[in-house]
Amino acid sequence: MRGTELRRKKAIGWLPAAVLGADDGLVSTASLVLGVAAAHATHNSVLITGISGLVAGAMSMAASEYVSVHALADSEAAELVRRHAHLKANTKGAHDALVTSYLSLGLNTVLAKEVADGLMANGAVGALARVELLLPTARRAHPNQAALASASSFAIGASIPIFVTILAPPAYLLTFVALTALAFLAVLGASAARAGGARVLIGAVRVTFWGALAMALTASVGTLFGTFI
């Protein structure tokens, strides 16, 4: 039981970004393929569109994630410097804050003061700054890691409709891409819900519904423009 709970807690850290990237890659690329195919484009044009969407989307995800996480990391670093300087100039306040922190964790007053004394004696001002800002080292922002994870998950999702485009008969391209994308979206939503301890059916339906809506709207636009242009 504890092992399952631990896995779920770990999944909370990486699962949302991975699901978002894969879902975005699958939905956006499948929608592009369906929209261009519905406009009666050639098979090569549809394939080029899908590949271009994969590359552009993956790079966009990587750049956006890198910039946003880097900004968060810079903000964390600046706040840590400020908090460290403040606590260092006020050792009495730092000591009291440590005592309060450990009292909130359930330690008695005597033990909390002993722990605080020991930490202060070993230069724990920086550690206290992290505790106050809720920034444990293991959860600090890593821009490069975040960018790579987002780009990779997007590319994995986007590769599915591209492979279907390559393998499917041109006459049934729209049907094959749509059904395959919906099936994978359902699996993605169910897997994410299961890993997070949520209801599997609701997770699958939620992801599939929005993916189907996006693909239907894009295909409608492709049909409309393919008719009048």
Q: Is the pLDDT of residue 191 over 60?
A: yes
Q: For the residues 107-123, what does the mean pLDDT come to?
A: 77
Predicted local confidence at residue 21, as pLDDT: 83
Distance between CA 32 and CA 39 in Å, rounded?
Answer: 11
Whether the per-residue pLDDT at 177 is higher than 70: the answer is yes
179 is written with which tokens?
């059904």
Residue 5: its pLDDT value, please? 47
Residue ranges of alpha helices (H) inside the chain are 2-38, 43-88, 91-104, 109-121, 125-133, 143-167, 173-196, 200-228
* 3-state SS class at 197: coil
How many angstroms separate the CA atoms of 198 and 12, rounded?
12
> pTM for this structure?
0.70
Query: Is residue 13 very low, low, confident or very high in pLDDT (cuts 50, 70, 90)?
Result: very low
Per mean pLDDT, which range of 13-22, 45-54, 69-78, 185-194 is the poorest? 13-22
Q: What is the pLDDT of residue 127?
A: 57
Least confident span in 32-41, 70-79, 121-130: 121-130
Q: What are the tens digits of pLDDT across the range 65-101?
A: 888 888 877 777 777 677 667 666 677 777 777 788 7
**How sure is the predictor about 112, in pLDDT bands with cuts at 50, 70 and 90?**
confident
